[in-house]
Amino acid sequence: MKLKDSRILVTGGSSGIGKATASLLAESGARVAITGRDPDKLKKTADEMGVVSIDLDQSRYEDIPVKLPTAVKELGGLDVLINNAGIGAPGAMGELTAEKFERVFSVNVFGLALLTQEAVKIFKGQDYGHIVNVASTAAINGYPGGSVYGASKFALRGMSQCWQKELRKHNIRVMLINPSEVPTAFGRADRSERAEVERKLTSVEIAHAIISALEMDDRGFIPELSIWATNP
């Protein structure tokens, strides 16, 4: 697809991977909107990048059918949904609770799916669209203490595969991106960004991977792409 003048919604766009992706997309000439749960931080970030801000906590399911049309109106349409918003919770065996699963799945799985469903209505109507789901290498390889977060990303991987088979006939490309460890604000209560670590990935590498996948000609798509640090 051509990025210039395309209409793109990036969830979780006020920091980390979402912010880096939105910034590079805007620099490429796309019309971009970002979502986030902290209205002040979201507005500040959006203003700095020259993009649209949409205050949305996708765990509040009732807000999704209201806020997505707002984003579409601000952008003048919708060509791409990048599902980047996500949260985590540590959960070793013996520490698992229903509340942890419900909190993480409400954002990473349920809210994401309901938001995507609303976007798909638009994409089907125009017989064209692109969905990028940002998962994790935790979606393909479990790790100690990852029962909650890993399960949510395994679920996202499974949903992505189902959507790929369901939506191709509508010219809708569904792509799954699996970053390995990236120091960001993820998991921090105050949402402050972690410092970059030499040899570990940064948000920019993931943003580059997302954009490269989108820029492939529409006749093809990359179903799944994992990004590893070369020598961490």
Which residue, 176, 73, 76, is CA-closest to 116? Answer: 176
Give the active site residues. 149
Contact 153, 180 (CB under 8 A): no
Q: How many helices (H) and strands (E) does the chain have?
A: 7, 7
What lies within 8 Å, CB to CB, of 186 at 6+ separation is 16, 86, 87, 88
Q: What does residue 133 show for φ and ψ, rounded to 5 degrees?
A: -100, 120
Strand, coil or helix: 130:
strand
Strand, coil or helix: 54:
strand
Query: How far is residue 5's CA from residue 142's CA, in Å, rounded to a whole number?
Result: 39
